[in-house]
Structure 1
């Protein structure tokens, strides 16, 4: 069945991979971002301008209901604790937490109007479950995302399912500086039991499953897609 999905931050990285994967199943996709790049060739995609930092959503007026929402904007600010200042903390929370809550708040009526069950998918990080040096901001903001996931899953059940995907390092624009040399890339690959880093499509497959009816009995879960990093010792 053709469904309506909203993908916030769907013009790059993991979000774009989700858009392309969902388009293969002829779903109607509403892609929210600050610019329309990369989705012009996706026939099922309708772009709408949104800016999660200032809570702006120019969503089409003729759409009453949606079947699923995914929030993809994020940041990857790694730094020693002594460099973390209040303005940096606020910027990280604006993107990763406040923008997420504003997005859910805006689209919740569209999900609730759906006669069928609907789904929300969020993005966490492997850094929440592992103690990783310089990941204080990632752990703090994505830890909040995991708490939100479980709390809203309980509150919105049984009508709306809420889950999150927790990746390890994934080859996107955000992680480019950490993969800038072959040595850095090899070192990161060797940390993972599956001996490679993630790709946007790896995360997209898990996310689209959680958006779909195939995951109808899954809610409140954090699905780790991290090459085994969070559950197996390094070898």
Structure 2
């Protein structure tokens, strides 16, 4: 049995990942922002706001085998409408928040024989998509963090990131609000569907556990083939 911390475990990919790890028999500690999930799930939930609060590590065990930082944002707008305030807020949530959490729990990650950190990027960093300037800039910084931190923390702590395409989560609700939008977005992918939380959580669980013990410093696409195929 191992100890895992999931930041943003109350919905979407984070929730799916927390439940998956719990089902595998691990101890799972998860944060929520507003609404506390059902305690009957057996996950140790506690509140945390990535933008404006520091993590209370008193609620965590002496050692952690893995950390997944799941908070994110999807800010799509023309370049001409970008504002520094909005860009900075997205950077704070996606990048600075991850940095703060990692710094806070790194001593606990180092207490384990081996541990793993999983971050989340996007297919848009490598592809170049219209109206994705903010998303690509912010997640591009996260990819740089992933590779640099992996080198700095090796061999004790592995660090990887997942780069999904559009996934059916509460965060993407406005982009998939009806069947017409879902079908149109599905057709953009070679596998002809949008992602589901479980698709991404499966990869995250793999990267967190020792099944991936020889993988670090990687940005792994889970995107329905969007980044590598045209059919």
Q: Shorter-chain TM-score: what band?
A: over 0.9
Q: Residue 144 of structure 1 is aligned with which of 118, 141, 144?
A: 141
Give the corresponding residue for 1:106.
Answer: 104
TM-score when scaled to structure 1?
0.95
Measured in 1, the distance between the counterparts of 2:76 and 2:205 equals 28
Measured in 1, the distance between the counterparts of 2:88 and 2:28 equals 31
Once the 2 structures are TM-superposed, how far is the Cα of residue 47 of structure 1 from its aligned partner? 1.1
Segments of 5+ residues of structure 2 without an aligned counterpart are: none
Give the corresponding residue for 1:83.
Answer: 81
Once the 2 structures are TM-superposed, how far is the Cα of residue 113 of structure 1 from its aligned partner? 1.7
2:150 corresponds to 1:153: yes
Q: What is the correspondence of 1:30-45 to structure 2 with a 5 Å cutoff? A: 30-43=29-42, 45=43
SS in 2 for 1:47: strand
1:36–1:47 Cα contact (<8 Å) kept:
no
CA deviations on 1:15-38 (whole Å, 9 max, x unpaired) are 001001101111001102223533
Measured in 2, the distance between the counterparts of 1:181 and 1:171 equals 11
Measured in 1, the distance between the counterparts of 2:200 and 2:5 equals 17
Segments of 5+ residues of structure 1 without an aligned counterpart are: none
Q: Residue 71 of structure 2 is aligned with which of 66, 70, 73?
A: 73
Q: How many residues align?
A: 231
SS in 2 for 1:165: strand
2:54 corresponds to 1:56: yes
SS in 2 for 1:57: coil
2:57–2:105 Cα contact (<8 Å) kept:
no
TM-score when scaled to structure 2?
0.97
Measured in 2, the distance between the counterparts of 1:229 and 1:31 equals 31
Relative to 1, partners in 2 of residues 1:19 and 1:78: Cα closer, same or farther, differing over 3 Å?
same
Measured in 2, the distance between the counterparts of 1:34 and 1:202 equals 23
Q: What is the correspondence of 1:116-131 to structure 2 with a 5 Å cutoff? A: 116-131=113-128
1:48–1:60 Cα contact (<8 Å) kept:
no
